[in-house]
Structure 1
Amino acid sequence: MAGVGSEKIFENDKVIVWNFELAPGEETPIHTHEHSYMWYAIAGTALQVFDEHGKDLGTLDVPTGTVYSLKLEDGFLEILSEPGKGLRVPAKHKARNAGSTHYREILVEYK
């Protein structure tokens, strides 16, 4: 995994588009989000989030077909959309697929 997704599929002067996939039990390396972004869950699951020190920050249920919008501000990401509205996590973190099925999303960063 490079950057904030599994594979960068498009980039221009306004956005970066990523394919992002995690098998059950798989986790991302620690990474830092440098832009606000949104994602669309193509195949949902439960995502467990950890801070850079490994502290469990909780599990976010990500249903298939859900769109999440996140704002980056002062080193934190805040979910602006439902479900999860108001949830804040550090911009530097890692995530693990805590579900039993393959997870896939399309993530769009706003430059």
Structure 2
Amino acid sequence: MLDNDKVRIWHISLKPGETQPLHHHGLAYVVVAVQGAQNVIHTADGKRIEVTEETGGIVFREPGQIHKLTNVGDTVYIGRIIELKTGVDAS
């Protein structure tokens, strides 16, 4: 959606039962749930993390973890991922 020297913003949409392929965020990022859903994060090392993404919810995430996202709910999940290319202090 947008890629410049400060941020990279991309769109994600998962229908119920859909899964993203394994991927990695090399940058800190913010997830904005445009339309929430019940999702599961599967990490490359075998962890399963259930997340309820509420519509309008915003979450900051650190980079590094290889993972994929599966929509296990019954609504379409729509999100915006904002990767931060400049220095970030999460405190």
- TM norm. shorter chain > 0.5: yes
How many angstroms apart in 2 are the aligned matches of 1:50 and 1:11? Answer: 27
The residue that corresponds to 1:28 in the other structure is 20
Deviation of 1:67 (Å): 0.7
Runs of at least 4 residues of structure 1 off by over 3 A? none
The residue that corresponds to 1:100 in the other structure is 74
Question: SS of the residue aligned with 1:25?
Answer: coil
> CA-to-partner distance for each residue in 1:56-98, whole Å, 9 max, x for gaps?
42210110010111123xx3xxxxxxxxxxxxxxx10111001
- Provide the TM-score with structure 1 as the length reference: 0.72
How many angstroms apart in 1 are the aligned matches of 2:4 and 2:58? Answer: 22
Is the 8 Å Cα contact of residues 16 and 109 (structure 1) preserved in structure 2? yes
How many angstroms apart in 1 are the aligned matches of 2:49 and 2:67? Answer: 12
How many angstroms apart in 2 are the aligned matches of 1:92 and 1:57? Answer: 12
Determine which of 31, 38, 43 is the counterpart of 1:39.
Answer: 31
The residue that corresponds to 1:51 in the other structure is 43
How many aligned positions are there? 85
The residue that corresponds to 2:88 in the other structure is none
Percent identity of paired positions between Structure 1 and Structure 2: 31
Q: Over aligned residues, Cα RMSD in angstroms?
A: 1.2
Gaps of 5+ in 1: 1-8, 76-90
Q: Are 2:51 and 1:66 aligned?
A: no
Gaps of 5+ in 2: 86-91
- Provide the TM-score with structure 2 as the length reference: 0.87
How many angstroms apart in 2 are the aligned matches of 1:71 and 1:58? Answer: 15
